[in-house]
Structure 1
Amino acid sequence: MALCIGVMGSDNQPLLIKISPSIQNPIDYHYMLYSALDIVEEKSQISQKTAGLNISGAEHRDLYLGLLYPSSDEVKIYAYCTNTKVKMILIVDATNTALKETDIRNTVKRLHLAYSNMIMNPFYEVGSPIGAKSFHNFVESIIAQ
């Protein structure tokens, strides 16, 4: 499904970057991830300004930022930004017509849930590179789909 998945910390340091083994030039995907961070910051600031209040009076905003930009005819870049400013960026093949927006949304929500479960480990230091094998396996399963 995904060609590359990046999980970036609140201060934009990489916590995890996984690139499909079929990619010939992985440095291009690193460049795309880092260039997408600027757009994620911009979109998350806009969504904070336009966030509505729900019934209980708490602020509500959509964590899924959607398609950032089609960087080329070959890939599309999607993002999800958590309340703690952890960014999850997916780079997918643009030629895959079977892939729908709802599939991407569900995938990043599952990725966020897996990340949430992983940081509940008392031995994980928040903000450090992710070393949990279960999370790595989950990310690899998304890439392998």
Structure 2
Amino acid sequence: MSTAIPSIACLGVIGRNNNPLHISIFPSHDPATNNFTPIRTPLQFSLLLSSTIDVFDLRARNNAVSGVGLSGDFGLLQAVDDRLAAYGFETNTGVRMVCVVDMRGRRVDGSAPVAAASRGAAAAGLRDAELKPVFRAMQSAYVRLLQNPFYDPDEHAPLGGRGGRKITSRKFAEDMKRIGEGWTPGVTSL
């Protein structure tokens, strides 16, 4: 017997000028065909990440009016459907990181002790704290990218509304892949 637990479907980094800097898409388990395929197309994930920008802006505006500051962790941004949910984090420089979670994305063998613990977590849903290691790892990868002397962060700032270029660092893409494939509910470090 197997059960499905949450997995990361997409990781996105959005620049301070609302331009997409990086998108990583991960396959999810499809019980109908019993293989792994992405749950949405790259265009659909891009549109989903763009829609989270409105939620970031709305929450920032509401918190500025009420005088409450944000810690950077925005928590659940939006539940797309019964399977997908988008969570967000904003750095102090305005770079936004989004993690789209597929609530039934990974199959686990039911006989393993890990499956029993994960089954309870999947039935209850995700807590915002379970994604803190993901955002911590994403922020660390972004900081390592900024520390690269050959990386110019200003080349990603759109001038005149044209939009910036995407992050093309192979090391950064490998870090995002490691984060997306390595996370399961209950993981404390990536």
* TM-score interval for Structure 1 and Structure 2 normalised by the shorter chain: 0.7 to 0.9
Query: Which of 152, 175, 180 is the matching residue for 1:143?
Result: 180
Equivalence for 2:68: 51
Query: Which of 1, 5, 18 is the matching residue for 2:11?
Result: 5
Equivalence for 1:30: 46
Equivalence for 1:39: 55
| TM-score, reference length from structure 2 | 0.65
- Please say if residues 47 and 62 of structure 1, whose CA atoms lie closer than 8 Å, have aligned partners that are also in contact: no
Instruction: Could you tell me which runs of 5 or more consecutive residues in structure 2 were left unpaired when the two chains were aligned.
Output: 1-6, 28-36, 106-121, 157-164, 183-190
- Please say if residues 7 and 88 of structure 1, whose CA atoms lie closer than 8 Å, have aligned partners that are also in contact: yes
User: Aligned partners of 1:121 and 1:94: how far apart in 2?
Assistant: 35
Question: How far apart are 1:71 and its partner, in Å?
Answer: 1.2
Letter in 1 for 2:61: Q
Question: After superposition, what is the alpha-carbon deviation per residue over 1:5-57, rounded to whole angstroms, capped at 9, x for unaligned?
Answer: 110101111110111142153122111111111101112233444335xxxxx
Question: How far apart are 1:101 and its partner, in Å?
Answer: 2.6
Q: Does 1:17 align with 2:17?
A: no
Query: Which secondary structure state, in structure 1, belongs to the residue aligned with residue 139 of structure 2?
Result: helix
- Please say if residues 9 and 39 of structure 2, whose CA atoms lie closer than 8 Å, have aligned partners that are also in contact: no
Equivalence for 2:114: none
| TM-score, reference length from structure 1 | 0.83
CA shift in 2, pair 1:124/1:48, >3 Å: farther
Letter in 2 for 1:23: P
User: Aligned partners of 2:140 and 2:149: how far apart in 1?
Assistant: 17
Q: Does 1:125 align with 2:152?
A: yes
Query: Which secondary structure state, in structure 1, belongs to the residue aligned with residue 77 of structure 2?
Result: strand
User: Aligned partners of 1:86 and 1:48: how far apart in 2?
Assistant: 18
**CA RMSD of superposed structures (Å):** 2.0
User: Aligned partners of 1:75 and 1:6: how far apart in 2?
Assistant: 14
- Please say if residues 67 and 76 of structure 1, whose CA atoms lie closer than 8 Å, have aligned partners that are also in contact: yes
Letter in 2 for 1:87: R
Task: Name the larger-Rg structure.
Answer: 2
User: Aligned partners of 2:87 and 2:147: how far apart in 1?
Assistant: 25
- Please say if residues 9 and 26 of structure 2, whose CA atoms lie closer than 8 Å, have aligned partners that are also in contact: yes
Provide runs of 4+ in structure 1 moved above 6 Å. Answer: none
Instruction: Could you tell me which runs of 5 or more consecutive residues in structure 1 were left unpaired when the two chains were aligned.
Output: 53-60
* Percent of aligned positions that are identical: 26
Equivalence for 1:94: 103
Q: Does 1:81 align with 2:90?
A: yes
User: Aligned partners of 1:78 and 1:63: how far apart in 2?
Assistant: 12
Query: Which secondary structure state, in structure 2, belongs to the residue aligned with residue 94 of structure 1?
Result: strand
User: Aligned partners of 1:69 and 1:25: how far apart in 2?
Assistant: 16
User: Aligned partners of 2:88 and 2:14: how far apart in 1?
Assistant: 11
